[in-house]
Chains A and B, each alone.
Chain A
Amino acid sequence: MIQIPYYPGCTLKNKASNFETSALAAARALGLELVELPRWNCCGAVFSLSSDDLMRHIAPTNIFLRVQEMNRDHLVEDEYRLVTFCSMCFNVLRRTNQRLRESLEDRNKINDFSYLETETYQGRVEIVHLLELLRSMGWDKIQERVHKPLTGLKVAPYYGCMLLRPKDVGIDDPERPTIQEELLRSLGAEPVDFPLKLRCCGSYQTVPDKDLVANLAYDILSRAQKAGAEAITTSCPLCAFNLDFRQKEIQEKYPMFLPIPVFYFSQLMAIAFGLPQEVFGLAGHYANPRTLLATKGYLQATSPLEGGEG
């Protein structure tokens, strides 16, 4: 088993725990032991964009130091990659790492400020998104692990913002990405392309203005449905919330809207790998995923009570 440090991020520990469960299980099935940092803090969710702000870069820097500490304490051996699943966390961590690597002055100031830390950060850690890790393994390796190909499942991969933008941080081309499609194909599913797969779901605007997010999400989901999608995949708990849980607001506004389940890509991996049903994480949904999965034959007959509320 290859052991790599893993950063969950706050949301994967409560509201999006199904993302963590399914992803860790899928990774393990591929021979990847993703070892959680023994001590970590919230990354801050968004990268601070003002030129003079160093304060908001401290949180990610702490996280980089924890990777160093894992190595120092032999919880991993000479492994300075840090894997994360949440797109928001990924974006903050990679951008902050980039900023610190580019500026000795910023590094010095933060290291000096964080005098309670036992080490300093000099840019050693490399941030890796799980999808990048899978791609580097080779899609054929992923395909080899599939026991229950998701044949006939039409899935629209939704990218959102944080995985791809800005260009020098993204895991794929910001205008024509293919990484999720490649994953879906290796799982036997049928990726459905649609024009709004890169459009922002509204992100944190869901806090002050859920109506705005309902509109954006409606556009995205209905376009995907028009293109023939039966399900959506995402890599971001905020996108998942806006596209899944805000379907309640969408239905109130657009009564003709039909619910469509939103999955984390790892959940489809877990299903395709034939892993135990507990790790599918189907309880954390709003739009019920069980009907679709049962119809396609991916679920064993179990209690119909588990699943979404929608």
Chain B
Amino acid sequence: MNEPEKMDLITIYILSRQYHVPAGSTILTALEYAGFKLKKGVGCREGFCGACASLYRLQGDYKLHGGLGCATVVQPEMQIVQLPYTPAPKAIYHLEELEPVPEVFTHLYPELYRCLSCNTCTKICPQDLQVMDYIQAAVRGDLEQAADLSFDCIQCGLCSARCPAEITQFNVALLARRLVGRYLAKKGKYVEDRIKEVEASKFTAGYQELQDLSPEDLKKRYFERELNNLIF
């Protein structure tokens, strides 16, 4: 019988308490190894949902770092806390009633104009976004740039937690993206055409046929599908 592999354990601190966890763990798996059962601050576990926002400090480094729990690998002497949720004002609006003009921010998120251009948000962003730049684009009224630069934002909330001007960057960006998508982005003609086809019942018979198949026949059809003919 082989000797069980000796796990390389490192020391980390969770909520200031010391734990020994396997090297190479992410913050989330380290928390679970340490015995925490995660109900909040965990989601897709693959860097997309923004639920696992975490704050940490590294040995010999005074800076406060922000990272996703699912994507940040723990290091020896790392001090960790999760920030599963940052309270944020969310303006209530109906997109149909808005116009894609800079004044929407004056009306819905006036605190935007408190921005100090200090880059504190940019420093903490786990997605390495140019947060200050997209906020400044919104201040200038450049909705498209604000939407473009904030595209990969997963709304983890760390920027808003750290912002000295108390702006909620991700909600401002969300509004910009929604306005751009609704009013400014090029319309996809193929989408409109497809919708017309669907409404003309072009696909109804095909779907019905699939729904009527037995599970075995469905499986057979699935594996025999011609990948080259996928509708894109």
Contact = CB atoms under 8 A, between A and B. Distances in A.
Interface stretch (B39-47, B86-94, B131-139, B214-222): B131-139
A55 B102 contact: no
Contacts of A103: none
A59 interface: yes
Interface stretch (A37-45, A125-133, A149-157): A37-45
A62 interface: yes
Contact of B133 (A10, A13, A39): A39
A114 interface: yes
Interface string A46-74: 00000000011011001000000000000
B117 A58 contact: yes
Given A14-B102, A55-B164, A42 B119 contact: no
Contacts of B116: 44, 55-56, 58-59
Given A13-B142, A14-B102, A116-B123, A42 B136 contact: yes
Most B CB contacts (10 A, CB to CB) among A41, A42, A113 go to: A41
Given A39-B133, A42-B136, A116-B123, A14 B141 contact: yes
Most A CB contacts (10 A, CB to CB) among B117, B118, B133 go to: B117
Interface residues of B, number: 16
B115 A13 contact: no
A116 B122 CA distance: 9
Nearest to B137: A41
Contacts of A41: 115, 117, 132-133, 136, 139
B146 to A, nearest CB: 13
A42 B117 contact: yes
A55 B139 contact: no
B140 A14 contact: yes
A114 to B, nearest CB: 6
A116 B119 contact: yes
B139 A10 contact: yes
Interface of A: 10, 13-14, 39-42, 44, 55-56, 58-59, 62, 113-116
20 contacts: A10-B140, A10-B141, A13-B140, A13-B141, A13-B142, A14-B141, A41-B117, A41-B133, A41-B136, A41-B139, A42-B117, A42-B136, A42-B139, A44-B116, A55-B116, A55-B118, A59-B116, A62-B117, A113-B118, A116-B122
